Chain A
Amino acid sequence: MNNLETQPKIDRKDLDQSDYFQSVLQESYRLNLLSVAEYENIQVQSIQLLAKQVHRYTGGESSSLKVETAQSIMQSIYYIIGIYLKSFPDADKCVAVLKQKPLQELHQHGKTIIAEQLKSAKQLLINVQCDGFITDNQAYNDTIQDGIPPFFSDYDAQFAAHDTPASIDYPLCNDKMNLVGIEYVLNYLETLCLENKFLNFFSIHAINRLLQSFNDHYRDLLINIFELVLTNALACVWVNKNSIHLNIEPVEREYLKEKLLKLSNVELTNHLHEALLQLCVELDISDHLLQKHMAEIIPDLSARLKNSLENNSLDSIFISFKEHQLQPVLFQEGTKMDDELFRSIVEEIKECRYVSDKIAIIQAEIHSISDLSDILAGYCIFNDEFRAIFESLGDMELALLLKMLPTDNTIDSDIHFTENEKDWHDRLNTFLNQLDLSRQKRIRKLVETIVFQKT
């Protein structure tokens, strides 16, 4: 005999995940699953619960409190009840529970669930910190080391359960931003665990080369490493190459372009699914959650692919490794002079009538590149004198100065510099562009190889 399943009256997809309790209420009221009397009863109960929580919040010492505080406590109550209601697979069951049980009880159950979630989130954070994936992406490291740990001490599960007192910068692939509070942090850590699990199939060296080839400033960028790696890995599958290399040669990209251009949207999506399956077999990925998370990239990736094929910019999606970097030149800076001495030198330079005297002082007194850049921005060199000073410098000094200049990719470079600094930056750029090409090339090559070493 066939089992007939009743169609749920409330579709869970219609419900707001961050305001679950309220949207269940609204939806059930709209669909007449709750009578007016029942609805009002729930409202009165929530006010009573609020009064109780407020009493607890003020320790019974104050009969009144600010409206904002009361609203926040109310929101926290709704959030906690919402967490309990989410534990039921379908929303219709939630309505039944709302009718049968007092809100106080649902609130209590919600608190128990939150305590458990906090415990598992703590464990997940430890797992992420020790799972062996290492990167020098700053957002990732900041989030894991300094952003999330304070959450566990600052989170107020009683009166502000809906707050997320964590500073999370590293973006996830398909981040569920509609969640808040402990739910968000737990989901973030679970997803991050999955992403790292996937990344650990690849060598750190290959990942770093991929990121470097994606952008020289990858350390400072807010990028999702998983997404970049997975995309290139899928492309490797398409060109029948071992995916752990991650590299897509320009020729291979051309081949992919020819191949993919012919496909319709649906075919492209199917193609991506096939590649994903093949990749899972190749890397022996059996974790269903990871497979599901990997598959979540497909809708977005297929749209991006389609777009880049139309605009002939496939190189921004399938990344080719840049040539091996030149042997780096490690630069260790000389000691900076103390402020007192620096000021007296600036005064001395300012008083000089001829630029030749200024150059003589700079050559005699300045022994570190930071001091030199400070002098350039120190209101003591004017107009054409910059040019004369740049002319007196060798290739290495110019390259070092150039290295200190903001590049187009540096985020918000504009706000970090004073007008004076911007002035010498512009003048240096103009000076360099006027040099003969071979010297320009030499200096720019030097810039690429210099690595500032921290003292």
Chain B
Amino acid sequence: MENTILNTKFFIPDTRLKLVYRDRLINKLNQGIHRKLSLISAPAGFGKTTLVTEWLDKFLLNAEMDTQIKCCIAWLSLDENDNDPVRFLNYFIGALNKAEGIAETIGQKAMSILQSPQLPPAETILTLLINDIITIPDQIVFVLDDYHLIEAQSIHDALNFLLENLPSQMHMVIATRQDPPLPLGRLRARDQLTELRAADLRFTPDEAADFLKKVMGLDLSEEEVASLETRTEGWIAGLQLAAISMQGQDKSNFIQSFTGSHRFVLDYLVEEVLEQQPENVQEFLLRTSILNRLSSPLCDAVLDLPLSSGQETLEFLERANLFIVALDNERRWYRFHHLFAELLRQRLEQQKPDLVAKLHTRASVWYEKHGLEFEAFQHAASVNDVERAERLIAGDGIPRHLRGAVTTVLTWLQSLPRSTLNARPALWWRYATFLMFNGQTTGVDEKLQAAENALQGVELDDKTRNLIGQIAGTRAMLALTRYQVEDLLVQSRRALEYLDPKNLSSRASATLTLGFACFLQGDRTAARQAYLETIKLCQDCGNTFTAIMAANGLGNVLEIETHLHQAVETYQHALQLFGDQPLHTHAGQASLGLARISYEWNDLDAAEQYGEQSLEQVRQYDEVIDRFIFSEIFLARLKLAQGGVDDAAALLAQTERSARQRNFIHRLPEIAEMQVLILIRQGQVGAAAKLARQYELPLSQARVALAQGNAFAALSTLESYRQKMEAKGWADELLKVMILQSVALQAQGEKDKAMQVLGEALAMAESEGFIRIFVDEGSPMAQLLSEAALQGIMPSYVNKLLDAFDAEGQKKDVTSSKQLVDPLSNREIEILELIASGLKNKEIAEQLVISINTVLYHVKNIYRKLGVNKRTLAVAKAKEINLI
């Protein structure tokens, strides 16, 4: 049922069989086809829509016959509810897809982004759409009918953007009752605008004569025609009604009375025409005037007569060209000509005021029965049937994500007196939630407080308990937006305490916010439990969105608890939940998680794929969201591992700039952490030290100390950090600390201790297959692992890690052999790395268990191949060509 109404917005109205030839107007429109816009701006009743449809009919015919240009026509009839930019764009794209000759793939990318809860700027979406439109080979004409109903500035802006970047094969037509707030002056100046206004659209005396005589078949004298034309001033609707009136009565009498009266033309004529209709038709028209759209079953419901005559009457009215317009080919839906709806409604209210409420209620009931809760709500609200309206907004039928629907509900709520709201505390709560759906947080506290006040002294039964729970749940949501962790925890718990156990959806939300609260407080175990619980609840109540957020959260917790395999499963599940919306913003978190884990497992190709996918996904977030930073930091880390130090540095510099520009100061420490790594790799230890100090990053400070040769300081920092992490039970940080500790201990010469710590780290890391956390430490770690191999510690794991090191070395070999005429052997590289870590020849000999002469021999060859004569130069050159 819903689809039928939606499709009617794309329906191109039928052209009337008999028409007045308006060639002068048609020609103007034809000539304007190469311009961007044809604007038809005139009050109601000037035949705008008729003109456009007639023109399109003729234009299409001519185009095909004369010039063989194929022309696609897209039509969108606007209504008051289209003031929501998302809905508008959805319908805009829908109209394009509906047009014959335009592929269904046009606008698909834009359409899928429109599903995101947080939207990128309209320009981004429109650019995607425009790029699709450009690929259409044929001429396109897009008609926006009744544009005066659009009041949202965001839509005017979007349309403006579209016009500025309009593909050359596209032509826009806007029919409206008032000039749209678009830069018409500019368009005129650039000869991009064709305008038809009331003065153009009025019937000229000749056209009036044509109409009255030929189309309406009236036999009138020139004088009579002239006086009618004068009285109506060529207003088409007026002439039409006059003609219809005259068909049923004495013409000269009519003309005399009509032209002699000062009464508002429309009022006069509608009354005339109405009075000529049979009684049942008059009743029909008056009663159904409350409806925005008419269908026979709906009309029958509203009329509530013993015999259903809706269909007959509608067809009669259409044939007689009286007041109504068909909205589809099947003749299922109609609407009133705008002018007449107002007038009929006014007559109804004047003549039968007591009936109005009954009619609206019948309409509301019918709409509800047919699953159209929003329309049902509108009718209930217009007669202030609070009980009915409240019930309807409580259901799932009203689309929360559609701003148009939300603001309609809010308008109604705002109109209610406090006493009404106080009598229904749940309505206060609804008010608060709808404000939040509308993106507002101001005023929400007051409404929630009002709800609680209204509940004072009320008996605590299941319903009121549930309401208290709902209120707490909303308070939790508020706390989340304000980063008030304490409150978030308290309210989430309160919600769960009071919510009805059967209210799965709300319980899922509250459990999710509880999970967030625990996580933010550092209680990973509790967070994990909460997320798991949320997912289960969502499975039972089908709340996919909450499930996805919980899956993201869970994946993250598992990941940092070093349960990599489980994390992967969870992230993949989250991605699956997105189904046919792979570009969805929240998918970015899951993708990034998979990127990080792929990286850790040394699958750098997969890591790159997921990493870039995550960036594309999170870029669709609103500008105030800083998620993209995590993806960019990751991609920089990846670049580093792939050997592109300078590239990584450049990427990260850009990220830092964006972060500062947009004031995302909370992310600067994370960026700095990566920057420290890069700076150390680049040999800029001083700069790295500065950053590490500035942001107080323990691991970074330890690394810097190591790079400065100060293993002692490094160990002291690491020890205190380790204690903290052990106390918190943070496995991921512990692992990192232990690995750095073993490297530092080795640098200090404490081999045994180093081996011990390494052994602990390996034991922790083995089952989840950590690789890069070791490999990224470079040759010092390689040495440690070789020693571990010798000692027979966890042989299969250690060998796997050593193989990874070899692969790294080979990668570097590949790149370096491209650069050196005489490439270094593996052994030579090995020795070079030991030289780089500060070992003297004697120490190298001991390390590798070879004679010092052999070492000297290798060193000589190294110098030769690198074209240097000193150790320091050899190391520098080797680093320069990414050899070590």
A and B part of one assembly = no
